[in-house]
Amino acid sequence: MPIGPARMPIMDHLGELRRRITIIVVAVIVGALVVYMATPTLIEMMIDQIRSAMRGGDLYVFSALGGFTIRFKVSLFFSVIVCSPIIIWQIMAFFLPALKPNERKWVVPTVGAMVALFFLGMIFCYFIIQPAAFGWLLDQTFEFAQSMADAEDYLNIYMLLEIGFGLAFQLPLVIFYLSIFHLVPYRTFRSQWRTVYVALMALSAVVTPDASPITMVLMFAVLIALYEAALAVARYIIIARDGKAALKWGREDYEQRDLDRL
């Protein structure tokens, strides 16, 4: 059986971590250099969803280095998106040796699900959240003044929203694995639903970079839907694999089951 990272000498452990991080950094930098030349087209695509809220459609740059800074940020943003399968795989591969043989079979489906959910979150944000968020924010200004669209400010908020929703859509996987591996008993998730909902509301406030209540409410609604969907799938798998009584199991019960089967 391969030696997991927890059993490696500390220098080997750090060396493996450094290797994985290096791969991620190199991939993102190369991707950013390739994407840089296409940034004007990509920026145009980004503001297309919020153009109606801007009531003018033009972005303004207020410094000599502003254009380069913005293009570099945008190229880095899209490079992270394009390289997300590589990033996710490197993270999962680092922890892979520490998993049990019956848990490793979940790694490839997990990577696929993480990538799909990340893109789904960003797509949802692009079509639903961006117009609503910028519409509400700019309406607060148009009530008493004209707004000049600072390109860096607008695009920073845009990219933070996209990344925030992409990461927030990973919630179902976290809940799913905590449940099916009995790290947190399924019954606990169900009995503590009020606490979980409050935590999701707080998370919605944290991961949304704007002050729009529209964004927070939409994020909260999506997180609840994803949470409930993840629990429904986890419940089905737990009952099919271990029986209905396993819904109450903790991690010790799960490991004892494996020992009883030996």
Average pLDDT, 10 consecutive residues per value, the chain (262 residues): 50 84 96 95 91 82 93 96 94 81 82 94 92 86 85 92 92 91 90 93 80 83 94 93 87 74 64
Buried b (16+ CB within 10 A) or exposed e, 103-131: eeebeeeebebbbebbeebbebbbeebbb
Among 150, 120, 187, 121, which residue's Cα sits nearest to residue 47?
A: 150
Predicted confidence at residue 233, as pLDDT, reads 93
Predicted confidence at residue 262, as pLDDT, reads 62
Token pair recorded at residue 258: 């494996």
Phi, psi (degrees; rounded to nearest 5) at 60: -125, 140
Predicted confidence at residue 6, as pLDDT, reads 45
Angle, helices 84-95/10-35, rounded to nearest 10 degrees: 170
Predicted confidence at residue 3, as pLDDT, reads 42
Predicted confidence at residue 146, as pLDDT, reads 83
Q: Is 160 exposed, middle or buried (0-12, 13-18, 19+ CB in 10 A)?
A: middle
Q: Whole-angstrom Cα distance, residue 231 to residue 177?
A: 10
State the amino acid at position 134 in one-letter form: F
What is the C-alpha R_g of the chain?
22
Do 74 and 39 touch, CB atoms closer than 8 A? yes
Predicted confidence at residue 245, as pLDDT, reads 87
Give the number of residues written for the chain. Answer: 262
Predicted confidence at residue 182, as pLDDT, reads 86
Predicted confidence at residue 199, as pLDDT, reads 92
